[in-house]
Amino acid sequence: MSDRRVVITGMGIVSPLGCEIDKFWERIQEGYSGIHRITKFDPTGYACQMAGEVIELDKERFLSKKEQRRLDEYSHYAVAAADMAIADSRLETDKENPERLGAIVSTGVGGLQTLEIARDTLIKKGPSASSPFMIPRMIVNMSSGVVAIRHNLQGPNFCVVSACATSAHAISGACRIIRCDEADVMVAGGSEATICELGVDGFGCMRALSTRNDSPETACRPFDKDRDGFIMGEGAGVVVLEELEHAKKRGAVIYAEVAGYGATCDANHITQPAVDGSGAARAMRLAMSRAGLNVGDVAYINAHGTSTPLNDKIETGAIKAVFGEAAARKLMVSSSKSMTAHMLGAAGCVEAIVSVLAMRNGVVPPTINYQTPDPDCDLDYVPNTARKANIDACLSNSFGFGGQNICLALKRFE
């Protein structure tokens, strides 16, 4: 591996808290909940009747009606976030060597809405009635392909899928490509659009979702003793990653450095994390080691923090194992999922963006809805109110079904 450094020069967001970085960050600081009763279909009778829906995206700003019909909603979100990230980076792709530009814009589930519609069409109308765009709409690599087509990115382009760790893995993979000198710029992140009957019922049948339907805004409560499950969210997060000297040469604004990452697997269970948290702990240690960080250098961790009983307890234990109990209690740890809901394949990148904004603005986002302390979760979760703090380095954790763990180590760029 070369000594080429990777920095973030652009960020784009589509989320339940808004579809512009400034508005998104303002609401994060305010501790605003983007979780409400589902409006995309009638959720009556479903175990979980709430979600973090995208409600502010003007799709026609990014895609014509014809383009929208040809793409699943997860690709709509990916295109919008990528367009915003590239615009934010002020990268003029037509003036770059296209073979040195690439993309990994991924998804955890893909075109679930397209699959749901196609299934209904087949049952009602029989064979040969489905749209000819059904397969390209549904497949998980289409978001990355469409982003490349729009911006003429002719370098490495593919999709990684690792459930809720997907977009953090996309960032780590893109960093590796740049560090190996296979590209100078990579557009990386993830997108998800699973708020449909099939998606909500599927996760509900796993008993993974909160059923506190009488109070959607307060239902997602990571690390709280009374947490009862996660809440599905949708949207996209995309960043522009760039080799440092390339970014400096064109006078780019540098938001932060992706200094290291650690990827591990629990090799334990298809959905539950390893009870001892060893895989998560190893991911954090690897990320810090590769970034040249010591325990005392990390001021903040954006936790995976799903609001499920098992995950939050295990992640807390993993943080203690890495930092030591005394040091861990001095750390600031928070879960932005308490506000955005769990954006599944988009979560890792969205939370990396939150971490970058926390460093740049000197504000740690809160974990909202924290009311009753849990003896098994006894760290500083920045409860309910954002906090001013100087952050030079932070970690962003993402853990997925299948036991797939990744931690991104981010540094303030000097």
User: Would you please indicate which residues are annotated as catalytic (active-site) residues?
Assistant: 164, 304, 342
Task: Find out whether 104 and 159 touch, Cβ atoms under 8 Å.
Answer: yes
Q: Token pair for residue 299? A: 């001021």
Task: Find out whether 193 and 73 touch, Cβ atoms under 8 Å.
Answer: yes
Task: Find out whether 270 and 229 touch, Cβ atoms under 8 Å.
Answer: no
Closest among 361, 1, 315 to 179, alpha carbons compared: 1
CB 207: neighbour CB atoms within 10 A? 12
Q: Using CA atoms, how far apart are residues 227 and 282, in angstroms rounded to an integer?
A: 26
Task: Find out whether 283 and 263 touch, Cβ atoms under 8 Å.
Answer: yes
Packing angle, helices 309-323 and 278-291, rounded to 10: 40
Gyration radius from the chain CA atoms:
20
The full 3-state SS of the chain, as one line of letters, equals CCCCCEEEEEEEEEECCECCHHHHHHHHHHCCCCCEECCCCCCCCCCCCEEECCCCCCHHHCCCHHHHHHCCHHHHHHHHHHHHHHHHHCCCHHHCCHHHEEEEEECCCCCHHHHHHHHHHHHHHCCCCCCCCHHHHHCCCHHHHHHHHHHCCCCCECCCCCHHHHHHHHHHHHHHHHHCCCCCEEEEEEEECCCCHHHHHHHHHCCCECCCCCCHHHHCCCCCCCCCCECEECEEEEEEEEEHHHHHHCCCCCCEEEEEEEEEECCCCCCCCCCCCHHHHHHHHHHHHHHCCCHHHCCEEECCCCCCHHHHHHHHHHHHHHHCHHHHHHCEEECCHHHHCECHHHHHHHHHHHHHHHHHHCEECCECCCCCCECCECCECCECCCEECCCCEEEEEEEECCCEEEEEEEECCC
